[in-house]
Structure 1
Amino acid sequence: MDYIGIDISQAYVDADLPGGVQRLEQTADGHAALLAALPAGAVCVLEATGPYGLRLLAALHQARQPVCVVNPLSVRRFAQSQLRRSKTDRTDARLLSQFGGVFAPALHQPPAVWLSQLQQRQALLDLLLGQRTALRNHGHALRQSPWPDPVSTQALEAELTRLDKQVADLEKSLEQDARAQCGADYERLQTIPGVGPRIALALLLAGPGLRAFPGWRQAVAYAGLCPRHYESGSSVRGRPRLSKLGDGRLRRLLYVGAWSAKTKNPACAALYQRLVARGLAGKQALCAVAARLLRQAWAVVANECAFDPNHHLLIAS
C-alpha cells in the first residue's frame, strides 16, 4: 500500500507523489489536480494541524479517497527518532509518507455535519465567554478609578449587553440542536449526579462524539484523565500523574463536576473517600472522580439507559 504524505499550509499543499514532491494551491482546482495525480489504492496522510486542512480533507472524503489524519506530536517524535536535522514543507511531506508506511494509521472517518457545526458553535461560545469575562474584569478595574471615564464606561456596558445576548442565543441554540440530534443521550447523561447540561453537551460534542469511542478507556484517554507512569530500572520511580494529553476543556468541566459527584454520586463518593483514606491529596482524588464520571457517562450512552446509583453495589456483591 502506498502512503502519500501531504504537508498543509494556508496557501498551498506539498504532496509526496510518486514522481516527487509537488506543490499545489489550496483551491478547489488544486485539490482536483491532487486527486487526479494520486495513484490508485494510495492512502493520503495528513497532520491534524488546524483549519487549513479541513477543505482538503472534505474533498478527499467526497472523492472516497482513503485518508489518515495523524497527531503532529507523533510525527514530530518519529522525525526525532530518525535524527532529522532539517525541516521544510517538502521534507515534511516525505516524512508523512514514511510515517504512514511504518505505522499504518487508522483511516479517518468524516464527522457528521451536525456534530462539526455544533463543535464550531461551542468553540465560538467559549471565545465569547472569555471575552465577556475579560470585559467584566476591565469594568471592575475602571470602577476603582476616582475619575472613571464616562465614554469608556458607556462603551463597555454596551459591549457587555451585546455579548450577554449573543451568549444567551448561542446557549439556547446549542441546547435545542443537541436535543434534536441526540436528545435521549442528552437526557440520560444528566441523570448522572455531577453531570449538568453544560457537561452533558461537552460530552456529546467531545472529539468524534461520545458514542464513537469504542470503550470508556479511550474516552478517558481522550480527556487526558488517564495516569501516566514514569518508571525505569530499580532507581527511577516517579509518582503517577495525569497525562493531560487530550481535551483540556472537557477535562476542566469534568473536574468541576467532580466536586458535586464526590458527595452526591454514590460510586464517585466511595471512590473519593477510599483514595483520600489511602493518603491521596484532594485534587488527585477529584481527578480520579472526574475519570469515573466520564466512565459512567460512556456506559450510560453505550447501554442506552439512565444512571443507576446502585450499580456499583451490584458489581461488588
Structure 2
Amino acid sequence: MATPAKPKVVGIDVSKDSLAICHLVEEKVQHLEMENSKAGFQQLVKQCGTESLYVMEATGIYYLQLAYYLYEQGAPVVVVNPVIIKRFIQMHLGKGKSDKKDAQWIRRYGEQTQVAYWQPEEQVIVECRQLEQLTEQFIKQRTMVINSLEALERQPVVSELAVKSLKQTLKMLEKQIKQIQDKLLVTLEKAFAKEIKLLSSIPGIGRKTAGMLLLFAGGFRNITNYRQLIAKAGLSPREFTSGSSIRGKVRITKMGGSLIRSKLFMCSFSAKGSNAACKALYERLVAKGKNGKVALIAVCNKLLKQAFAIVKSSIPYRPDFANISA
C-alpha cells in the first residue's frame, strides 16, 4: 500500500500588517508577501490552495484571524510556539533574521517535524480569556492609581480635586474588577459545572482557582498528560549543571502561565496542610533539606497532576490520592 504524499507546507511569518510566506513551487523556494487582512487571506488560499499545510507562529493575537480563516476554508493549520521555532533555527545554526528567512525556517519546521493540527478553542473559552485579560489590565491600572494616590498624599501641597478624581477612578476600577470576575466565574461554572465541581474537591483549590485552571487548560480538551499542563504553567524544573564544576540551582522555566502559577503558589500554602499527597510530598522534601519555596513549587506540580487525573477520570478527590498520584 502506497504511503500518502505529505501535503505541501506553507511557512508564514505573521506580523501586525503583513504576511511573509514561503513555499515550494516545482521544488524551488518562492517567497510571497500579502496583507494581514481578509483580502490577503483570500489571495493566499488562491495561490497555495486548501490542500497545503499552513504553519505559523503564535505571535500575540496577529495570527488568529488568519488561522480561523484557513480553518474555515478546510485547510490544515499548525500553530507553533515561537520559542520552538527559535530553538529549531538555533539547532540548525541559522544566522541572520528577516521576515523572509523566518518564513523559510517555519516552512522547514513544518516539513521536518511531526506536527499537530490546530483547532479553534470553544467560544466560551475565548470570551472568558478576554474577560480575564481585561481584569488583569484593570488590576494593573488600579495599582497605578493607588501608587499615584499615595505619592500625591505625601506631598506638602495637595490638590483636593486630584485626590477626589483618583479616588473616584479607584472606586470605578474596583467595581469593574468585581463585576468582571463575578461574570467570569458564573460563565465558567455554567459551561464547566462538572469540571469545576471535580476540581473544587481537591483540598487547596477553591472555586475561583478551579475556574482559572479550567480557563488556563482550555477545559482540558487538548491536554493529554499532566506533564503538558506543568510545562504550560512554566513549572517544569530547569537544571543548570555541567561536569563536576558547575552546579547551578534547579529553577522552574517560568515560560507562560504566570497568572495560574501565582494562583497555584498561593494555593500550595493551604494544600501542604490539608491535601494528603501534597502534605506528604512537602514534608518529604523539607526533611531532605530542600528550602520551603522549592517544596511549595513541587506542591504546585502535585496539584496540577491531581487536577489532570481528577478531570480526566471524573473521580473526585480522595485522601488515598496520596498513593494513587504520588
Answer yes or no: same fold by TM over 0.5: yes
| Distance across 1 between alignment mates of 2:183 and 2:91 | 47
Of residues 12-21 and 48-57 in structure 1, the stretch that sits farther from structure 2 once superposed is: 12-21
Post-superposition shift, 1:206? 1.0
Which runs of structure 2 are paired with 1:8-19 in the superposition (5 Å)?
8-19=14-25
Q: Is the 8 A contact 1:48 1:69 kept in 2?
A: yes
Among 36, 40, 52, the residue aligned to 1:30? 40
| Distance across 2 between alignment mates of 1:143 and 1:315 | 53
Q: Is the counterpart of residue 300 in structure 1 residue 310 in structure 2?
A: yes
| Distance across 2 between alignment mates of 1:308 and 1:211 | 23
Can you list the C-alpha shifts for 1:120-160, whole angstroms capped at 9, x where unaligned? 11111111112112212222222223332111101101111
Q: Is the 8 A contact 1:263 1:269 kept in 2?
A: yes
Among 292, 295, 306, the residue aligned to 1:282? 292
Among 178, 195, 198, the residue aligned to 1:185? 195
| Distance across 1 between alignment mates of 2:317 and 2:131 | 28
Q: Is the 8 A contact 1:211 1:302 kept in 2?
A: no
Post-superposition shift, 1:253? 0.9
Q: Is the counterpart of residue 249 in structure 1 residue 262 in structure 2?
A: no
Post-superposition shift, 1:231? 4.0
Q: Considering only aligned residues, what root-mean-square deviation do their CA atoms show, in Å? A: 1.9
| Distance across 2 between alignment mates of 1:37 and 1:104 | 25
Q: Is the 8 A contact 1:211 1:301 kept in 2?
A: no
Q: Which amino acid aligns with 1:76?
A: K
- SS of structure 1 residue aligned to 2:192: helix
Over 3 Å counting, the alpha-carbon distance change for 1:85 and 1:212 in structure 2 is closer
Q: Is the 8 A contact 1:211 1:298 kept in 2?
A: no
| Distance across 1 between alignment mates of 2:277 and 2:217 | 26
What is the TM-score of this pair, normalised by structure 1? Answer: 0.93
- SS of structure 2 residue aligned to 1:306: coil
| Distance across 2 between alignment mates of 1:149 and 1:252 | 37
Q: Could you tell me which runs of 5 or more consecutive residues in structure 1 were left unpaired when the two chains were aligned.
A: none
| Distance across 1 between alignment mates of 2:236 and 2:87 | 21
| Distance across 2 between alignment mates of 1:11 and 1:59 | 16
Over 3 Å counting, the alpha-carbon distance change for 1:166 and 1:314 in structure 2 is closer
Q: Is the counterpart of residue 101 in structure 1 residue 107 in structure 2?
A: no
- Alignment correspondent of 1:259: 269
Post-superposition shift, 1:234? 5.0
Can you list the C-alpha shifts for 1:180-225, whole angstroms capped at 9, x where unaligned? 1101211221221211233112110114333431111211121121
Over 3 Å counting, the alpha-carbon distance change for 1:39 and 1:212 in structure 2 is closer
| Distance across 1 between alignment mates of 2:50 and 2:119 | 20
Over 3 Å counting, the alpha-carbon distance change for 1:197 and 1:142 in structure 2 is farther
Q: Is the counterpart of residue 130 in structure 1 residue 108 in structure 2?
A: no
- SS of structure 2 residue aligned to 1:209: helix
Q: Is the counterpart of residue 310 in structure 1 residue 320 in structure 2?
A: yes
- Alignment correspondent of 1:67: 77
Q: Is the counterpart of residue 268 in structure 1 residue 278 in structure 2?
A: yes
Post-superposition shift, 1:57? 0.7
Identity score, percent: 34
Can you list the C-alpha shifts for 1:35-59, whole angstroms capped at 9, x where unaligned? 1111463211100111111100110
May I ask how many residue pairs the two structures share in their alignment?
A: 316
Q: Which amino acid aligns with 2:205?
A: V
Post-superposition shift, 1:241? 2.3
Post-superposition shift, 1:116? 0.9
- SS of structure 2 residue aligned to 1:92: helix
- SS of structure 2 residue aligned to 1:52: coil
Over 3 Å counting, the alpha-carbon distance change for 1:147 and 1:236 in structure 2 is closer
Q: Is the 8 A contact 1:203 1:210 kept in 2?
A: no
Q: Which amino acid aligns with 2:261?
A: R
| Distance across 2 between alignment mates of 1:133 and 1:232 | 42
Q: Is the 8 A contact 2:278 2:302 kept in 1?
A: yes
Among 155, 161, 172, the residue aligned to 1:145? 155
Among 13, 22, 39, the residue aligned to 1:7? 13
Over 3 Å counting, the alpha-carbon distance change for 1:305 and 1:152 in structure 2 is same
Post-superposition shift, 1:83? 3.1
- Alignment correspondent of 1:90: 100
Q: Which amino acid aligns with 2:228?
A: Q
| Distance across 1 between alignment mates of 2:178 and 2:18 | 39
| Distance across 2 between alignment mates of 1:287 and 1:193 | 16
